[in-house]
Amino acid sequence: MGDLLSDRPLLKYLIKLTDDELLRYYKSIPICLVVYRMLPKLSQNIVTKLLWLPLHNWKRSFKKDYLKNLVPHLILLFRLRIINDPEHKQLSLNHDFKENYLTGIMLEPKDIVNLRTAELSEKKAKKIAGKDLSEKANERWECILTYLALPSPESAKKVSLGTKTLFQETGFVRDRGNFETEITSQGFQFLLLNRIEQLWTYILQYFDFKKQNGEDNFHCFEFLLKLTLLVNFNNEGCKDLSKAGMFYADNVYKDMDDEEGDVSQVGTKSSSYMNHNLQLKAYNIGDDWDEELQNFFVHLRELGLVFLRKRKDGFFFLTPLMNNLAVSSTSIENMQEANKNSGFI
């Protein structure tokens, strides 16, 4: 089962949670949808089959040579508490996961995410966001990596106290006296990761750190997964990560299958046609966000995952960097952003 988790950091994080924590998470529709998207293909097929009926005496339902492939996926689903113990003759889904997943696939995206779209003209949105959200996002993230690679008073000015503390607690940097900081071998290994791995590592370490301090991560975790769903909803069928935070005005590629669609055909569209059909999309900041969620949002802004010009604007944009968290596996090397940012060094 280790191979199934080697390139799926979110699932690796979830299996470390307690049963009570997982059961709480599966009461959330967005979380159930994202967890399903993050599962390996065969695991998804098992869940889909069990959505409609339990498997009685399941070992007799498959050929012996196929069972070898099936068992690791069953163990994974059990450790995620999505199914009951495979040692039992009958396999069935966790009730809350089943109900919330089925409810989620029948709802409109706006009802799942519960974030209101800001009423902005495309001209105003472009004026506020600037010419290139991708460049802004990468500049933010590069500040974090530069501080880690070359800690100095100058690079420290560009990162928050929260990031400095997190890197200290995770062992990515250490003090060497005289108020100076240096990178550790663990921090160096972080720099060698590709962009998707780096982002997930940072965020999941952040959740672990907050949990160790006695804080409840549920609402922040759910909010993050809602944002990844927005990326999937807005860019269905598009493998160009530079288009995150936008949506297709005419839903040109709405029906293209993300796994099997021909990327080369997407690339043959003329740039003028693409620019005409892609629009920036902004989302309102909720008046009901508690302090914990507001602090987490500020953290996402520091990482470059969301763009907020001024707090008083009351709305934000998703950046192309967020698309790195919307893919199911860190090993999807045909993703444009993953290829372009294979590592910091």
pLDDT, tens only, 288-324: 899 999 999 999 999 999 999 887 788 999 999 999 9
The pLDDT, as a whole number, for residue 193 is: 94
Which DSSP helix (H) or strand (E) runs through 247? strand 246-248
> Could you tell me which residue, 336 or 128, shows the higher pLDDT?
128
Contact present, 187 and 167 (Cβ < 8 Å):
yes
> Could you tell me which residue, 143 or 125, shows the higher pLDDT?
143
Please say if the pLDDT value at position 126 is more than 90: no
Q: 316 pairs with which residues across the strands?
A: 283
At 121, is the pLDDT very low, low, confident or very high (cuts 50, 70, 90)? confident
**Distance between CA 275 and CA 37 in Å, rounded?**
28
CA distance readout (Å), 240 to 173, 176, 195, 246: 34, 42, 15, 11
**Distance between CA 89 and CA 325 in Å, rounded?**
36
- How does DSSP assign 49-94, residue by residue? HHHH--BTTGGGGS-HHHHHHHHHHHHHHHHTTSB--TTSSSB-B-
Summarised one tens digit per residue, pLDDT across range 167-206 is 999 999 998 877 789 999 999 999 999 999 999 999 999 9
The pLDDT, as a whole number, for residue 276 is: 36
The alpha carbon dihedral of 165, 283, 126, 323 has a sign of: positive
Residue-range domain boundaries for the chain: 2-107, 122-340
The pLDDT, as a whole number, for residue 177 is: 75
Question: Rounded mean pLDDT of 29-38?
Answer: 97
Please say if the pLDDT value at position 277 is more than 70: no
Identify the weakest region by mean pLDDT among 113-117, 272-276, 340-344.
Answer: 272-276
> Could you tell me which residue, 266 or 234, shows the higher pLDDT?
234
**Distance between CA 311 and CA 192 in Å, rounded?**
34
Provide the phi-psi class of 304: left if phi over 0, else alpha when psi is between -120 and 50, else beta.
Answer: left
Question: Rounded mean pLDDT of 318-343?
Answer: 70
The pLDDT, as a whole number, for residue 271 is: 34
What lies within 8 Å, CB to CB, of 345 at 6+ separation is 149, 191, 192
DSSP class of residue 331 equals T
The pLDDT, as a whole number, for residue 127 is: 75
Least Cα distance to 219 among 24, 20, 35, 19 occurs for 24
> Could you tell me which residue, 271 or 113, shows the higher pLDDT?
113
At 262, is the pLDDT very low, low, confident or very high (cuts 50, 70, 90)? very low
Question: Rounded mean pLDDT of 252-259?
Answer: 36
